[in-house]
Amino acid sequence: MESNLSSVASGATVKSARCVLFAYHDSGYACMNALLKMGAPIAALFTHRDDSHEEIWWRSCAELAARHGVPVHIDESIEAVAATIGALKPSIIYSFSYRHLIPESVLELASHGAFNLHPSLLPAYRGRAPVNWVLVNGERETGVTLHHMVARADAGDIVGQRAVAIDDSDNALTLYHKLVPLGVELIDELHPKIVAGNAPRRKMEIAKGSYFGRRRPDDGRIDWRWPARRIFNLVRAVTHPYPGAFCFAGGRKLLVWEAKIGAEDGPCGEPGKVVREMAEGALEIAAGEGSVMVKVAQFEGGVEGIAREALSQSARVKDTIQFD
């Protein structure tokens, strides 16, 4: 009986704390849905309009908000609507996969604090595209961090974290899907504590971490002189729904969508040279150390398919079997 009364009291407290959300992408959808399920009142959602140049695969925060009668603001200047946010008198401000820095003047409007969910184990991988960067750099673990927002990006005190292992079978999309439920776990556990004013808090030791900026198109270029694992990590870090790793073969841009490590040690031939064709259509290509099995590829403007078939589209490549 005592436990039931405690649960009811906790729920009533959660339902009294007005939230303003800055949310986008699948993580934003999942965390907003978690708040709605526990009865947290969401006064407004600030989100982004989908970019037609991106491969859209995630659930829409705007549609979720509309189904629950939450006012939606799309791509509005935060500075321009600061007065609107102030009038909402938010207890808590949350940022879930929101793509802009929220001004300190807006953060200060939340009486219980403003919090961001970042997809890395802060202070490591502060900044942009951490899911891609951890794969590029061959990390074996990552996670999510709920932290206080301050004027500086990803620098406020840590409230909670969850970690997850990175396997060789992971790419950016599968790893992202591992992180989304971890963020929901943090919100389920910590939102009631934030409302009650007893959430944990520890200083962010920025000097012990790292910062990575936005990835540029040229960051996806493969150098076949690299070790096999480095090439493999790049391919899986930027495969679909991202723009893809690439090189040039026969003077044409070739996108590599799927690969695995053939050998990790020792020379297997001249870097970039196809050393053998596999029965299933994969091509083993020599790297600076070891080799990479290219399984799925596509010439720019061509059809994506099994590597051997993709390369057969160019007689010059077929004759030279050499990557530029």
pLDDT in tens, 77-131: 888 889 999 999 999 999 999 999 999 999 999 999 999 999 999 999 999 999 9
Confidence of residue 70 (pLDDT cuts 50, 70, 90): very high
Helix, strand, coil share (%) of the chain residues, nearest 5: 30, 25, 40
Cα–Cα nearest to 159, from 190, 131, 184: 190
Task: Note whether 2-212 and 217-320 share their fold.
Answer: no
What DSSP letter does each residue of 251-290 carry, written as one string? TEEEEEEEEEEEE-SS--SSTTBEEEE-TTS-EEEE-SBS
Topology of the domain comprising 2-212: Rossmann fold (3.40.50)
Residue spans per domain, the chain: 2-212, 217-320
Cα(221)–Cα(109) distance, integer angstroms: 44
H or E segment at 116? strand 114-118
Q: What is the CA radius of gyration of the chain?
A: 23
Within its chain, how far is the Cα of 173 from the centroid?
8
Asked whether residue 318 carries a pLDDT value surpassing 70, the answer given is no
Q: Which amino acid is at 28?
A: G
∠ CA(156), CA(157), CA(159), 5° rounding? Answer: 125
Average pLDDT over residues 47-65: 92
What DSSP letter does each residue of 131-187 carry, written as one string? HHHHHHTT-SEEEEEEEE--SSTT-SPEEEEEEEE--TT--HHHHHHHHHHHHHHHH
Tell me how crowded residue 192 is: count the other CB atoms within 10 A of its CB.
Answer: 18
Asked whether residue 261 carries a pLDDT value surpassing 90, the answer given is yes
* pLDDT on residue 15: 86
| Burial per residue of 271-290, b for 16 or more beta-carbon CB atoms within 10 angstroms, e otherwise | bbbbeeeeeebbbbbbbbbb
Asked whether residue 4 carries a pLDDT value surpassing 50, the answer given is no
Average pLDDT over residues 247-258: 92
* pLDDT on residue 6: 36
Task: Lowest mean pLDDT of 22-26, 93-97, 147-151, 215-219, name the range.
Answer: 215-219
What CATH superfamily classification does 217-320 receive?
Formyl transferase, C-terminal domain (3.10.25.10)
Average pLDDT over residues 147-174: 97
Note every long-range contact of 102-111, with CB atoms under 8 Å and residues 24 or more positions apart, other chains counting: 102/22, 102/78, 102/149, 103/78, 103/79, 103/151, 104/150, 104/151, 106/78, 106/82, 107/149, 107/150, 107/151, 109/82, 109/85, 110/20
Task: Lowest mean pLDDT of 36-40, 164-168, 317-321, name the range.
Answer: 317-321
Asked whether residue 218 carries a pLDDT value surpassing 60, the answer given is yes
Asked whether residue 282 carries a pLDDT value surpassing 50, the answer given is yes
* pLDDT on residue 231: 98
pTM, entire model: 0.91
Residue 41 token pair: 């009142």
Asked whether residue 177 carries a pLDDT value surpassing 90, the answer given is yes
Asked whether residue 16 carries a pLDDT value surpassing 80, the answer given is yes
Instruction: State the chain's mean pLDDT as an integer.
Output: 91
Residue 28 token pair: 């934003």
**Contact criterion met (CB below 8 Å) for 197 and 14:** no
Cα(292)–Cα(295) distance, integer angstroms: 9
Cα(97)–Cα(129) distance, integer angstroms: 11
241 preceded by cis ω (within 30°)?
yes
Cα(296)–Cα(245) distance, integer angstroms: 11
* pLDDT on residue 314: 61
pLDDT tens sequence across 25-47: 999 999 999 999 999 999 999 99
pLDDT tens sequence across 283-314: 999 999 999 999 999 999 888 999 988 887 66
